[in-house]
Chain A
Amino acid sequence: MKLLTLNFLTCAIKTCKTSPASFPLHPRDAELEIIESEINLPFLRNILPRLMWEEIRVIASELGLPSLPTTPPTREDLVEGASQAQATEQAEGEAVAEVEEVPSQTAKDLHRILLETGIKEGKLVCGNCAHEYKVMEGVANFLLPGHLV
């Protein structure tokens, strides 16, 4: 399960809906995996305002990943400056008519942590009710027994 997903998941139990502690779910005994994928710059740009940056940092530190900057990146940070892009093109001597957007290091890092890093095995624990959701082979089990619905 991608870390991007973890930034949107909340506890499924009805009584937790009103509590702010039900988000984010905290990973426990997590086994991480990396699945390489192609960087999708328009998607990153689309999703950026919806991310809860503080929670990403909390989860990254809980998983023992390298710490992230305190301020969330902006949309402008995702692409290399236009002048730089042109400069590299000229340096390479390519006659490209339209300026391709080059993802910056920030975008690459963001892609790495959100879309390539995932939890393979482990548990997700709600901060409010301490309900544990098992994750097996990257699939989280959100089925609830009838009395908790």
Chain B
Amino acid sequence: MSRPEDILPPDLFYNDLESRKYTTSSRIQKIQSSMTHRALSLLSLTSPSLILDIGCGSGLSGEILSQTPDQGTPGGPHIWMGFDISSSMLGVALEKEVEGDLFLADAGQGVPFRAGTFDAAISISAIQWLCNAETSEESPVGRLSRFFGGLYASLRRGGRAVCQFYPKNDEQKKMVSQAAVKAGFGAGLLEDDPGTKNAKTYLVLTVGGGEVDGDITGVVRGMDGVDVMDGRRKGQQRKRGEEVKGSRGWILKKKEQMEKKGRVVKATSKYTGRKRRIQF
């Protein structure tokens, strides 16, 4: 399937025609709504909160945020603010009279809110656009780091963010999650239907402090059918093939290196690398 990111920048790709197609397609509506509900379940909000919607587009996800608990939104109705780079998309949102406040802004330029503003942030199918830079002045890494840096500052302590995105490949997945970790988030990827064409990737971000239960492993605790794969390095683990300095293995390695360089090296015996006895 072709990726719109490879065709044009988002503000040009989503023109009036494309925005209308996107918003009125019942297939896209269904997918977006199910992903929004999934993201909300990961946020696990219990009371009406202030939510930021990054790349809100025509407000497909925002509409769900403004619904009441009876209509299926836990903790609702939430108050949300959203920004998007495509003015046509925002135009469609204005026509639909969505309840949230809208901005025309580029997520890659940062998040213009003061520190500790939001309880949570949500982003549906948007941040893969940040992996493309349109001019030579900017780079995907720079855009991602500005975005996550701004997002981290604007969330309150103990806040959460869930960003669903379509990574092009594993490299992009890594780039996005590393940028989030660098900004200070506890980051983890949740994949629904992995390995299929319908795979959905959610980046679950947590801000330390407050009442949240650790990182993503805390978020998914108690959820059915979730396998946790922890790729983090443990504290004491050494890299393979690395010896403790001063050990016999290390000495033998050094001797071998020196020998290869052509130096004269004493022959190795059973006494190599042993400590001398005290009485010597």
Identify the A interface with B (CB < 8 A). Answer: 1-2, 4-5, 8-12, 14, 23, 37, 40, 42-43, 46-47, 50, 115, 118, 137-144, 146, 149
Contacts and interface: CB of A to CB of B under 8 A. Distances in A.
A115 B79 contact: yes
6 contacts: A1-B101, A5-B81, A5-B101, A43-B50, A50-B117, A138-B102
Contact of A4 (B79, B85, B106): B79
A139 B94 contact: yes
Interface in B32-71: 47-50
A86 B102 CA distance: 41
B20 interface: no
B106 to A, nearest CB: 6
Contacts of B114: 8-10, 23
Contact of B48 (A8, A37, A46): A46
B156 interface: yes
Interface in B111-163: 112-114, 116-117, 119, 135, 137-138, 146, 156
B215 interface: no
B47 A42 contact: yes
A40 to B, nearest CB: 5
Chain B contact-residue range equals 20 to 34
Given A42-B48, A43-B79, A138-B94, A9 B113 contact: yes
A75 to B, nearest CB: 13
A10 B116 CA distance: 12
A1 B47 CA distance: 23
A141 B104 contact: yes
A60 B201 CA distance: 43
Contacts of A14: 110
B14 interface: no
A47 B109 CA distance: 26
